[in-house]
Structure 1
């Protein structure tokens, strides 16, 4: 009569191997830094797209500034002659009425500052590009107004 099954040594070895894999590999899947970097990149990308759409819709030039401290949208020039009309360098209001700006609270590495102004046709002056997280994420704003994001 032949009995089949695993020996206690084989079972212990499988448990040890699984413990090593879980200690080394699993933290890489749950590293929050990658998610935080992607989230900040998406925030800046969203603000650039919003600035372009607002410039086209309002007919007023909008400037986007993004650097290692955060991002903000401002009016590039006076918009209208009334006292309540937006003036140059004033912060743009977001849809909820607050200032459209954000802080780089995750300390995402940015290779250089991004400063782009969109005109009433949606074109960008000057064309610019910026890399986040050592080149993992790239944001390119072409002079035609085309906004390219990779990946």
Structure 2
């Protein structure tokens, strides 16, 4: 009964094709850059939304700054015994600041201050992340935080 199974040449060709695919396509599945960019964008978005909610709940003016070095929330004016410029505390007790460990590009710097009504003031009300892949915009008149995508 001849003709059953594969020849050695056929098996070697299959191994060469699989090896070539592993070398060419494999690294694309393990590239973390896109995930790191999205993570920093989502963290920054969460921080800006938290700043707005804290301003509404506390009645204090809260400043949110997001740039290529990280993000930070601080008090824009003295309020309730807290001096102007002091960092906002996060729920675990530390400062509500974080760095940008993956060096995701952010331009320009987002720098807005939320008031007790949730509206915003600031010179720069938007930031583009990762060369424009993600955008965070704060409408100064309404305080609406818009994102794309």
Shared fold (TM-score, shorter chain, > 0.5)? yes
Question: C-alpha deviations, 1:52-99, integer Å up to 9, x for none?
Answer: 10000001110001111111101111113xxxx112111111111211
Shift of 1:23: 0.9
Aligned equivalent of 2:103: 107
Aligned equivalent of 2:45: 45
Is there any run of 5+ residues in structure 2 with no aligned partner, and where? none
Please identify runs of 4+ aligned residues in structure 1 that moved more than 6 A. none
Aligned residues: 147
Q: Are residues 1:93 and 2:83 paired? A: no
After the TM superposition, which residues 15-94 of structure 1 pair with which residues of structure 2 at under 5 Å, given as runs? 15-80=15-80, 85-94=81-90
Among 128, 137, 143, the residue aligned to 2:134? 137
Mapped partners of 1:2, 1:97: distance in 2: 75
Aligned equivalent of 1:121: 117
Aligned equivalent of 1:149: 147
TM-score when normalising by structure 2: 0.90
Mapped partners of 1:67, 1:76: distance in 2: 18
Deviates more, 1:30-39 or 1:61-70: 30-39
SS in 2 for 1:131: strand
Shift of 1:2: 6.4
Mapped partners of 2:45, 2:61: distance in 1: 18
Mapped partners of 1:6, 1:121: distance in 2: 74
RMSD value over aligned CA atoms?
Answer: 1.6
